[in-house]
Amino acid sequence: MKAAKDGFPQLLAAWPPTLRLALFHGEDESASRDMAAQLAAKLADPGDPLSITELSPAQLAEDPARLADEAAAISMFGGARVIRVTGAADAITQAVELLLAAPAAGNPVLLIAGDLSKASKLKAAAEAHGHALAFQNYALNADQSGRLAGDRARDLGLKLSRPALRQLIAATNGDRGLIAQELEKFALWLDASPEAPKALEPDHLAALGADSGEAEIDAFVNALLDGDTAAVDRQLTLFAADGTSAIPVLRAMARKLMQLAELRAAMDGGRSAQAAVDAARPPVFWKDKDRTAAQLQRWRTPALAAALDRMLTLERAIKAPQSPGDILAWQGLLGLAARGR
């Protein structure tokens, strides 16, 4: 069923016994991730380190019955379990349908998706069934983004000038997660606190802002999806040399893969690559349309799902204790470029 966002606190307070699945989707992916994280923390057993099971879209596309199996499985510790799928798209619709049709499913399933199209089979399946709720998170408008940034800046001890606020919103595209991440970074950099506030000015954003390396990351993502291994190798060498963090690169890659997966689903339904790109919502920037259409011809649905799964796996791996860090991501991305489609 469709769910209004203002009904989320009620769901957080008490997960209905008949509910099996909650889908979080829309342009505001940070809000979707945050809502799923709140539910996972509320529903999972805090005493069981294995109480949250992460499944990838690639795993469910290959084995659709697994979602229902995991939802019905009993924890070895006897506590509550939660199943979470990040990067959900139409490729897992069969898995969702099997879950909703299963005779029983005791463990809540949380799906985090990007901006699903009106024709999305996954969204339709969740909205049509009484055992599921679908929450759509719309992008913040400029006023909402400004209020969010202002409130968070005050909490961190940052005095945000109006020009700096405009620059921050433009650099983060109004994404609430990126806004918070950027402000936390600048509070640390400026040694700001509520007790000792510091001014955040446009010069600071220009020197260390979210968009300072955005062009290089975008160029790298496109080179990888184009199959330009020489360009990928050159850019990875530069990333390693200048200390670029792998996390923004992996997340930019994941966002692009999710976009391509949605468009490829339209192609699998009978549209041409160009028609899928032309009908995309949100729209593909006009300068990128031909390139995106060419990438869709190179990358088929299973390869896109596997690549997205790889991005999520790499991010978890480099965050793990005693991990060698970014080098894991650079090696994994280079391997993905070599495999191509």
Please indicate, yes or no, whether residues 202 and 78 belong to a single structural domain of this protein. Answer: no
The percentage of the chain sitting over the pLDDT mark of 70, rounded to a whole number, equals 94
Q: Where among 81, 113, 136 does a domain terminate?
A: 136
Segment 198-216 shows an average pLDDT of 74
- For tokens 């596309």, the residue is 61
Please indicate, yes or no, whether residues 155 and 29 belong to a single structural domain of this protein. Answer: no
Please indicate, yes or no, whether residues 28 and 56 belong to a single structural domain of this protein. Answer: yes
Please indicate, yes or no, whether residues 233 and 298 belong to a single structural domain of this protein. Answer: yes
> How confident is the model at residue 340, as a pLDDT?
58
Q: Which of 76-90, 183-197, 284-298 has the lowest mean pLDDT?
A: 76-90
In the predicted structure, residue 28 carries a pLDDT above the cut 80: yes
In the predicted structure, residue 276 carries a pLDDT above the cut 70: yes
In the predicted structure, residue 183 carries a pLDDT above the cut 70: yes
Q: How confident is the model at residue 109 (pLDDT cuts 50, 70, 90)?
A: very high
Strand-strand pairing, 2-3 and 82-88 = unpaired
Q: What are phi and psi of 63, to 5 degrees?
A: -135, 80
> How confident is the model at residue 212, as a pLDDT?
54
- Residues contacting 145, CB < 8 A, separation 6+: 169, 172, 174, 176, 179
- Per-residue pLDDT of 7-27, as tens digits, reads 999 999 999 999 999 999 998
Assign residue 276 the CATH number of its domain: 1.20.272.10
Please indicate, yes or no, whether residues 219 and 187 belong to a single structural domain of this protein. Answer: no
Please indicate, yes or no, whether residues 26 and 111 belong to a single structural domain of this protein. Answer: yes
| Residue 62 token pair | 């290959």
In the predicted structure, residue 325 carries a pLDDT above the cut 90: no
Buried b (16+ CB within 10 A) or exposed e, 285-304: eeeebeebbbbbeebebebb
- Residues contacting 136, CB < 8 A, separation 6+: 2, 5, 25, 26
Q: Where among 162, 183, 208 does a domain terminate?
A: 208
Assign residue 109 the CATH number of its domain: 3.40.50.300
Segment 228-238 shows an average pLDDT of 86
Please indicate, yes or no, whether residues 12 and 106 belong to a single structural domain of this protein. Answer: yes
Q: How confident is the model at residue 159 (pLDDT cuts 50, 70, 90)?
A: very high
Please indicate, yes or no, whether residues 104 and 191 belong to a single structural domain of this protein. Answer: no
User: How many domains, the chain?
Assistant: 3
Please indicate, yes or no, whether residues 162 and 113 belong to a single structural domain of this protein. Answer: no
Q: Where among 104, 121, 136 does a domain terminate?
A: 136
- Per-residue pLDDT of 79-105, as tens digits, reads 678 999 988 999 999 999 999 999 988
Please indicate, yes or no, whether residues 129 and 146 belong to a single structural domain of this protein. Answer: no
> How confident is the model at residue 209, as a pLDDT?
61
Please indicate, yes or no, whether residues 7 and 130 belong to a single structural domain of this protein. Answer: yes
Please indicate, yes or no, whether residues 201 and 232 belong to a single structural domain of this protein. Answer: no
Cα–Cα distance between 282 and 259 in angstroms, integer?
9
Domain housing 17? 2-136
Q: What is the mean pLDDT of the chain?
A: 87
Supply the angle between the helices 142-156 and 162-172 in degrees, to the nearest 10: 110
> How confident is the model at residue 222, as a pLDDT?
92
